[in-house]
């Protein structure tokens, strides 16, 4: 059996990676390089990781991911420029003036999106701006700058980057009140000609599965706005959502098949192997990825190949 990245000419399959594991773990590195043709830094391009100290960026880890991607001819999803989590501690307390907060946001977006111009193919410009109970999430950015912070982030990114610019969120994968909110948000951005190119559906699955037909319907309505849709953080925890490896494989097959049939051309799993996944340590289900902790291909891996037409 060849590699996953060779299965489809139309759909890229990616994984989120940790630069330390890429450097030190031979099996991890070999799996990422041979199986995937898209990549996301799981944490290394987040603001708090890039700029732990005020006024000084450290791009070493993020650059490692970028170089790895280039060497292996991978599509790069940059994640993420503006989020309400994993920002530097020195941004606290949030008592700066509006003008100063906006300057910080602008400088950050321009610095990072500008540095990876020509390398990052798609940026998650704004992450998780919609609240679970409707409306925009009450974040530092919303409080300081109002809803326009979203426009500004996209505009600053567009000024320095040639990447496709995405809005990314969770719990908005299928058809739900939250996905309606996300739809309304991005439809409004499109209508006002804010430079947005796409929507990322995270698709973390642990409490319950999202009906694949609903994912397809959501992809279709977003596509009708003229936006690209990527599946950006796919993982399927064994537990409440799916009882075992076989059910997990079935769900991967159905949801990847439905999404790609509806026009999704990029599917990224949130990690590589079950030994290094964020879900179990949070109690969100077990063994959610395509490779087990020994980097053996799981039933879910074969199911994704089938979904891609093999």
The residues assigned a catalytic role are: 128, 233
Looking at residues 246 to 275 of the shown chain, list those that interact with ligand XIL (rule: CB under 6 A). Answer: none
Q: Binder to ligand XIL among 8, 21, 127, 161 (CB under 6 A)?
A: 127
Binders of ligand XIL among 189-248, rule CB under 6 A? 202, 233
Q: How far is the CB of 117 from ligand XIL (least distance, A)?
A: 22
Residue nearest to ligand XIL (CB): 278
Return the structure tokens found at 93.
Answer: 């307390």
Tokens of 107: 């400088």
Nearer to ligand XIL, 33 or 129 (CB): 129
40 interacts with ligand XIL by CB under 6 A = no
Phi, psi for residue 231 in degrees, rounded to 5: -90, 120
**Measured from the CB atom, is 182 or 308 closer to ligand XIL?**
182
Q: Does residue 43 touch ligand XIL according to CB under 6 A?
A: yes
Q: How far is residue 37's CA from residue 73's CA, in Å, rounded to a whole number?
A: 7
By the 8 A CB rule, do 218 and 184 touch?
no
Establish if 278 lies at the interface with ligand XIL (CB under 6 A).
yes
In angstroms, the CA 133 to CA 258 distance is 27
**Nearest-approach distance from CB 232 to ligand XIL, in angstroms:** 8
Q: How far is CA 135 from the centre of its chain?
A: 21
- Structure-token match 């959501």, residue found: 218
Q: Which of 25, 42, 173, 181 binds ligand XIL (CB under 6 A)?
A: 42
Interface characters, 82-111, with ligand XIL (x: CB under 6 A): ------------------------------
Q: Residue 112's closest CA among 171, 153, 168, 151?
A: 153
CA distance 266 to 253: 15
| Cβ neighbours of residue 299 closer than 8 Å, sequence gap 6 or more | 245, 246, 248, 249
Residue among 43 and 223 whose Cβ is closer to ligand XIL: 43
Q: Residue 123 corresponds to which tokens in the numbers above? A: 């940026």
Nearer to ligand XIL, 228 or 233 (CB): 233
Residues of this chain that interact with ligand XIL (CB under 6 A) are 42-43, 127, 170, 202, 233, 278
């Amino acid at each position: 059996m060849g590699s996953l990245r060779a299965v489809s000419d139309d759909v890229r399959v990616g994984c989120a990676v940790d630069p330390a594991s890429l450097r030190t773990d031979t099996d991890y590195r070999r799996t990422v390089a041979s199986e995937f043709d898209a990549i996301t830094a799981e944490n290394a391009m987040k603001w708090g990781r890039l700029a732990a100290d005020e006024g000084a960026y450290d791009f070493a880890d993020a650059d490692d991911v970028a170089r790895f991607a280039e060497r292996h001819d991978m599509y790069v999803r940059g994640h993420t420029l503006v989020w309400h989590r994993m920002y530097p501690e020195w941004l606290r307390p949030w008592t700066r003036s509006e003008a100063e907060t906006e300057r910080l946001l602008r400088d950050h977006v321009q610095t990072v999106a500008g540095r990876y111009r020509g390398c990052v193919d798609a940026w998650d410009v704004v992450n998780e701006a919609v609240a679970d109970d409707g409306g925009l999430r009450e974040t530092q950015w919303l409080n300081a700058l109002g809803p326009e912070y979203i426009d500004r982030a996209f505009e600053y990114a567009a000024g320095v980057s040639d990447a496709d610019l995405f809005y990314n969120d969770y719990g908005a994968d299928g058809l739900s009140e939250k996905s309606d909110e996300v739809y309304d948000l991005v439809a409004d951005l499109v209508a006002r000609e804010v430079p947005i190119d796409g929507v990322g559906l995270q698709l973390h699955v642990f409490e319950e599965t999202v009906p694949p037909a609903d994912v397809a319907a959501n992809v279709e309505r977003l596509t009708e706005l003229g936006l690209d849709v990527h599946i950006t953080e796919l993982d399927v925890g064994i537990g409440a959502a799916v009882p075992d490896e076989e059910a997990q494989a079935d769900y991967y097959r159905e949801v990847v098949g439905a999404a790609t049939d509806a026009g999704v051309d990029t599917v990224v799993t949130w990690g590589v192997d079950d030994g290094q996944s964020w879900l179990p340590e949070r109690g969100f289900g077990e063994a959610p990825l395509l490779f087990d902790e020994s980097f053996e291909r799981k039933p879910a891996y074969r199911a994704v190949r089938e979904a891609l037409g093999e």
